[in-house]
A and B are shown apart, each in its own frame.
Chain A
Amino acid sequence: MHPMSFEGTRSRIWRASVSVSAWVLITGVMLSACGDLGSSPAAGTFAPRTPGVLTVVTSTLPSPGFWEGTAHHPTGGLEYELARDLADRFGLKSVRIEIEHFHRIVAGRLGGADLALDLITPTSQREQSLDFSTPYLDAAPTVLVRSGQPVPDLETAQSLRWGAIRGTTFVGMIDSMIAPDQSLQLFENSPAMLAALKANKIDAVLFDLPLAVVTAGRSGGRLKTAAQLPDAESIAAALPKGSSNAQAVDSAIRAFTSDGTLDHLLHVWVGSAATNGASSIPLLHTTR
């Protein structure tokens, strides 16, 4: 081959390779812009206990703003919609809801459900029997009282009759941060506890801020949020210990956080009062 011809061929190959490289880059960018938005094995795989169905366990239905309707006819709520979004992402056709006592859920008894969505705060004790996803909400413990009951300071708070749901982190929190004069009354679920509050059997309870705001808002003026405690708690999905689905649920919640899905759900089902509550509800200075 003539040297010039060889040089020309090499030059053409070179130009072609540079051109191909540029096109690959452009195509890559365009492809990514057109790519599907769903889950892929890179984000973990989800294997439901019942094929095609996401089974979710929770303790109370309805739970204002978080689970609306009944177990057979759910009508919405942040955690219910989150469950539906999870099912969509994992390619599952439906969501089945199961009910279980809160203290049994946090003890790891999920009753065959794939996961639990029940405003659960991960703790080291609970991590012994459950796996937790990355948090999907942060919420300050908020004091809910009957309207007309002020809680301006710790001394007033200590003089109140407190109630809490068995198994929640609020039980220890009330003991250590408020240390009430009278012993704490424990309840199996939130409807029973709220009934006691309205019936003047107890004076104050703790709820996570969004739930407290929605509950007060729907009480017809009988209940109000009086104060919030320092140190917001993380709220996460709970999975059976050793679940192979943890990575997929984690990835999904990270995706829902970054793409604004969770903010949207919070806005729709809890409203701006919950997000503004952090600044409008006074802080209660506690014993620690």
Chain B
Amino acid sequence: MIVASVFPISIAGISVSSPTGPAWEFLVLFVVVIIGPPLLQRARLPGIIGLLLGGYAIGPHGLNLIGAGNTTIPDLGQVGLLYLMFVAGVELDLGLLRVHRRAVIAFGLLSFTLPMLFGTAIGFSLSWGAPAALLLGSLLASHTLLVYPAVRNAGLTTVPAVATAVGATVLTDTASLVVLAAVSGSQLDGGGPASIALQIVVGLGVLLVFTLVVLPRLARLAFRELGTDRIVRYLIAIAAFLAAATLAGSFGIEGIVGAFFAGLGLNRLVPNEGPLMDRIDFFGAAVFIPIFLVTVGMLLEPSVMIQGETLKLAALFIVASIGGKAVASGVARVRLGFSPSEAMLMLGLTVPQAAATLAATVIGFNIGLFDQSVVNAVLVLILVSIVAATLLVERAKARVPVPGKSSRNLGKRVLVALDDPRQAALAFAIGARIAAPDSGVVRGFLACPPREADAFKPQLEQLRAAGFAVGFDTDPALLVDPSLAEGVINAAAVQEPSFVLIGQRRVAAASALSSPGEAVAAYSTSPVAIVIGDATGIREVVLIETERSRDAQSDDTAVGLAAELASRIGRRRVSVRKANELPNTGELSRGQLAIAPATSWEILAASDPPTGAALLLVLEPRLPFDEAGAAEESEAGAGEPRQPAPAEVNPEARR
């Protein structure tokens, strides 16, 4: 050990001993986490390789700064592994999975089965036992969406090929983890095949029920009752995956299976763009996941890596894994009709071997199925797959056209703008239901005149509490602007919401010329609705179908939007009421929310809903500028203003 050989130093009676203990070990660890990735990125290599090499450098096969007998760092690495699998589950976009389910199932099965077959065949050809061969197949079949951030940054997330590859990850990783559970169960349980199979089946059943049924309910309850503190919300998420991992372990199933399913279970409760996901990502990226990768690097033994046996294994693994994924992408291209560039993008997304592969390999190593040379060969595979994936995605993403804005993700980012905090409970309840199917986020804004921000700040707490009450951290902020409409338009320009909900407690707040909502609708590309009333709960939704509704059934109209909102907010409790015009809202009963497509005249014609009921008026979405401009030019002639400026739309909307 280099450090130990330098110390102790004794000068003029002052003795300095060699650094030891947890503080020194964690210092060394974090130095690697800090400098490893940027160093490798400067050499145009993925940062993950920096962590692996850094782990080797400080590990027992390198400088031995963290010795083989250390258990603290590897234990923390194990928590990091659970964290990684939890994040993989919680980040998966279940909405995309639903939309492209046929392609996802087909591609998922192919991209799992082919590498699984190739890997298992290689294992048997090397005279490995069935458990080791099957575990090899499964670890080559899984993949990690390591290069997905590059695809996301390129704006390609809604490309069907990308959605298919991302969705297929659920299947490949779940199937791999099921094989892992079966294999590790067969090694850890001393019973016969039938009892092992029963143990695994029962264990997986209990785990699925716990993670997908019980855990989301418990978490939702905990978010409501205890989750007003953001630290507590984060700790609830941590406790959730640790509980699932513990439960899995009780049945002899590896903890990572439980952690992954816990992520899937909490998927809808932890929106990808929400503050809680930010915190999960932050701590994962800063601490847990790097430490896991560093501990994996500590397993690296170059003397074994460069041995002929290791390189031979690595070559076989690379052929089986990347070859299998390539054939799967090729078959899917022909069968599912993707372009060659899209198929290359799918291949790039499914080639990287990291999280699940490492997890399965480390577990195979820990249960004595794999030796050091297999681990090192897998590490070579990981390095090669990451570099190959980076190159493939870089080439493919330049050739795949960026799609237009999708109208399907209505609930991705719901912006709720209020000028009266008493509407917060109702507005956030509506926002939460709209956001839920897309695992979206709800952001809250409270309108506030300039120079009065200090007086309004205490009211933000009301909004925050109302958000937490429906399980959302709405991270409310003040919207300081003399005009509510302009304020919302400005906020929308920054937030890029998928839907804007504007609160208006009384019908009288709108003028004969227009409402703030209409002004926003005129200038925002996002759909806009106005909620009137101050109900505290929604028991039933009444969808109003007027004459106009029967003339315009397109999804892109206020009529279509109203129907979708009714479905999202009311779920199964939606009744349809036919009317020639907006009904008398006085007919609504407590807990009812009426939803109707509307114009400003209809808004004016409506009366305030009774106490405990509410009215949601869905405005006609604005056409994209080019289409609208063309349409209006043909009708109104050039030179005429297409739409009045927000300030001109409704002087009454100004404060």
Q: What residues of chain A have their CB less than 8 Å away from a CB belonging to chain B?
A: 10, 14, 17-18, 20-22, 24-25, 28-44, 122, 124, 134-135, 234, 247-248, 250-256, 258-260
A21 touches B109 (CB 8 A): yes
| B130 adjacent to A36 (CB under 8 Å) | yes
25 A-B pairs (CB sep. < 8 Å): A25-B175, A25-B179, A28-B134, A29-B178, A32-B179, A33-B182, A33-B185, A33-B196, A35-B131, A35-B134, A35-B186, A37-B187, A38-B129, A39-B368, A42-B128, A42-B132, A42-B371, A42-B374, A122-B69, A234-B69, A253-B368, A255-B367, A255-B369, A258-B188, A258-B366
Query: Within 8 Å CB of B120, what residues of A?
Result: 28
Question: CB-CB contacts of B363-387 with A at 8 A, as 1s and 0s?
Answer: 0111111111110000000000000
Of chain B, the residue at the smallest CB distance from A135 is B69
Residues of A within 8 A of B190 (CB): 259
Whole-angstrom CA separation of A43 from B365 in the bound complex: 8
Q: Give complex CA distance A43, B364 in Å.
A: 9
Tell me whether B131 and A252 are in contact (CB under 8 A): no
Of residues 386 through 434 on chain B, the ones whose CB sits less than 8 Å from some CB of chain A are: none
A115, B540: Cα distance in complex, Å: 75
In the complex, the answer to whether A31 meets B130 with C-beta atoms within 8 Å is yes
With A21-B109, A35-B186, A37-B187 already in contact, the answer to whether A254 and B366 are too (CB < 8 A) is yes
Q: Is the CB of A251 within 8 A of B193?
A: no
| Contact between chains at A14 and B335 (CB < 8 Å) | yes
Q: Shortest distance in angstroms between B404's beta carbon and chain A's nearest beta carbon?
A: 30
Do the beta carbons of A33 and B109 come within 8 Å of each other? no
Q: Size range of the interface on B?
A: 35 or more
B367 touches A254 (CB 8 A): yes
Q: Does the CB pair A41–B128 fall under 8 Å?
A: yes
Q: Which of A28, A36, A250 has the most CB of B within 10 A?
A: A28
Q: How distant is the Cα of A13 from the Cα of B365 in the complex, in angstroms?
A: 39
CA of A124 to CA of B364, assembled, Å: 28
Number of A-B contacts (CB under 8 A): 138
Give the interface centre of B112, B368, B372 by most chain A CB atoms within 10 Å.
B368
Output the least CB separation between B292 and chain A (Å).
18
Does B544 lie at the interface of the complex (its beta carbon under 8 Å from any beta carbon of A)? no
Taking a contact as CB atoms under 8 Å apart, the answer to whether A247 and B371 are in contact is yes
A198 to B317, CA, bound (A): 61
Listed from nearest, the 3 A-B pairs whose CB atoms lie closest are A255-B368, A40-B129, A35-B130
In the bound complex, CA of A253 to CA of B116 (Å):
28
| C-alpha spacing A258/B365, complex, angstroms | 10
B60-90 interface (Cβ within 8 A of A)? 68-69
Report the bound CA distance from A124 to B2 in whole Å. Answer: 12
Question: How far is it, in angstroms, between the C-alpha of A80 and the C-alpha of B370 when the chains are bound?
Answer: 25
Interface string of B107-130 (1 = CB under 8 A from A): 001101100110010010011111
Chain B residues positioned under 8 Å from A259 (CB to CB): 187-188, 190, 367
Shortest C-beta distance, B256 to chain A (Å), equals: 14
The answer to whether B370 and A42 touch across the interface, beta carbons within 8 angstroms, is: yes
Within residues 443 to 465 of chain B, which ones have a CB less than 8 A from any CB in chain A?
A: none
Q: B653: CB under 8 A from chain A?
A: no
Partner of B113, one of A24, A43, A252, A254: A24
* Residue contact B132 to A40, C-beta cutoff 8 Å: yes
Residues of B close to A260: CB separation below 8 A: 188
Known: A25-B116, A259-B187, A259-B188. A40 touches B127 (CB 8 A): yes
The yes or no answer to B265 lying at the interface (CB within 8 A) is no
The verdict on B33 contacting chain A, using a C-beta distance below 8 Å, is: no
| Given A28-B138, A124-B1, CB of A250 within 8 Å of CB of B187 | no
* Nearest CB on B from A265, distance (A): 14
| Nearest residue, chain B, Cβ from A36 | B129
Pair A28/B179 contact, Cβ less than 8 Å: yes
Residue from A20, A31, A43 in contact with B369 in the complex, judged by beta carbons closer than 8 Å: A43
B127/A21 in contact, CB under 8 A: no
Q: Which residues of B contact A10 (CB under 8 A)?
A: 335
Given contact pairs A28-B134, A33-B193, A44-B372, enumerate 16 new A-B contacts (beta carbons under 8 Å): A21-B110, A22-B109, A25-B179, A28-B120, A32-B130, A32-B134, A32-B183, A33-B185, A33-B197, A34-B197, A35-B131, A37-B131, A135-B69, A251-B371, A255-B187, A258-B368
The residues of A that contact B116 with a CB separation of less than 8 Å are 24-25, 28
- Please indicate the chain B residues that have their CB under 8 angstroms from the CB of A24 in the complex: 113, 116-117
Complex Cα–Cα for A280 and B331 (A) = 65
Kindly list chain B residues whose C-beta atoms are within 8 Å of the C-beta of A44. Answer: 371-373
User: Does B609 touch A at the CB level, under 8 Å?
Assistant: no
The answer, among A32, A39, A43, A250, for a CB contact under 8 Å with B182, is A32
Main secondary structure of the interface of A (DSSP, over half): helix
A283→B606 CA distance, assembly (Å):
80
Which residues of chain B have C-beta atoms less than 8 A from A42's C-beta? 123, 126, 128-129, 132-133, 136, 364, 369-371, 374
Q: Does B106 contact A (CB under 8 A)?
A: yes
Q: Which residues on the B side are within 8 Å of A17 (C-beta)?
A: 110, 331
Specify which of A18, A20, A40 lies most central, judged by the most chain B CB atoms within 10 Å of its CB: A40
Interface presence of B200 (CB below 8 A): yes
Cβ-closest chain B residue relative to A22: B109
A247 to B301, CA, bound (A): 12
In the bound complex, what is the Cα–Cα distance between A40 and B109 (angstroms)? 29
Would B1 and A32 count as touching, CB distance under 8 A? no
Residues of A within 8 A of B106 (CB): 14, 18
| Distance in angstroms between the alpha carbons of A35 and B27 in the assembled complex | 44
User: Smallest distance from the beta carbon of A59 to chain B beta carbons, Å?
Assistant: 22
Whether B368 pairs with A25 at a CB distance below 8 angstroms is no
- Complex Cα gap A24–B178 (Å): 13
Which residues from chain A contact B368 at a C-beta distance below 8 Å? 39, 43, 251-256, 258
CB A140 to nearest CB in B, in angstroms, measures 13
Chain A residues with Cβ below 8 Å from B105 are 18
Residues of A within 8 A of B200 (CB): 29, 33
A260 and B249 CA atoms in complex are apart in Å by 13
Residue pair A41, B113 in contact (C-beta under 8 Å):
no
- Determine the distance from Cα of A43 to Cα of B135 in the docked complex, in whole angstroms: 12
Minimum distance in angstroms from B461 CB to a CB of chain A: 48
With CB as the reference atom, state the residue of chain A lying closest to B370: A42
Beta-carbon contact of B371 and A32 below 8 Å: no
Q: Given that A42-B136, A44-B371, A254-B367 are contacting pairs, would A34 and B113 also be in contact in the complex, using a CB cutoff of 8 Å?
A: no
User: In the complex the two chains form, is B335's CB within 8 Å of A30's CB?
Assistant: no
Q: What is the chain A residue whose CB lies nearest that of B336?
A: A14
- Which of B69, B110, B135, B373 makes the CB contact (< 8 A) with A32? B135
Docked complex Cα distance between A33 and B192 (Å): 9
Q: How far is the CA of A254 from the CA of B131 in the complex (A)?
A: 16
Q: Which residues of B contact A20 (CB under 8 A)?
A: 113
B137 interface hit (Cβ, 8 Å): yes
Name the interface residues of B175-208: CB closer than 8 Å to any CB of A.
175, 178-179, 182-183, 185-188, 190, 193, 196-197, 200
A117 to B619, CA, bound (A): 80
Chain B residue numbers with a CB within 8 Å of A33 are: 182, 185-186, 193, 196-197, 200
Q: Which residues of B contact A40 (CB under 8 A)?
A: 127-129, 131-132, 369
How many Å from the CB of A94 to the closest CB on chain B?
22
A29, A32, A36: residue with the most chain B Cβ atoms closer than 10 Å: A32
CB distance from A255 to the nearest CB of B (A): 3
**Cβ of A25: which chain B residues have Cβ within 8 Å of it?**
109, 112-113, 116, 175, 178-179
Residues from chain B with a CB closer than 8 A to the CB of A35 are 129-131, 134, 183, 186
Closest to A260 in B: B188
Residues of B within 8 A of A18 (CB): 105-106, 109
Which of B68, B179, B369 is A122 in contact with, Cβ under 8 Å? B68
Closest chain-B Cβ to A261's Cβ sits at a distance in Å of 9
A251 → B minimal CB distance (Å)? 4
The answer to whether A32 and B128 have CB atoms under 8 Å apart is no
Binary CB contact string for chain B from 597 to 618 against chain A (1 if under 8 A, 0 otherwise):
0000000000000000000000
Residue with the highest number of chain A CB atoms closer than 10 Å, among B185, B186, B200: B186
From A31, A44, A134, A248, name the one whose CB has the most chain B CB atoms within 10 angstroms: A31
Q: How far is the CA of A134 from the CA of B74 in the complex (A)?
A: 14
Distance between Cα atoms of A29 and B187 in the complex (Å): 13
Measured in the bound complex, the distance between the Cα atoms of B188 and A258 in whole Å is 7
**What B residues does A234 contact at CB under 8 A?**
69
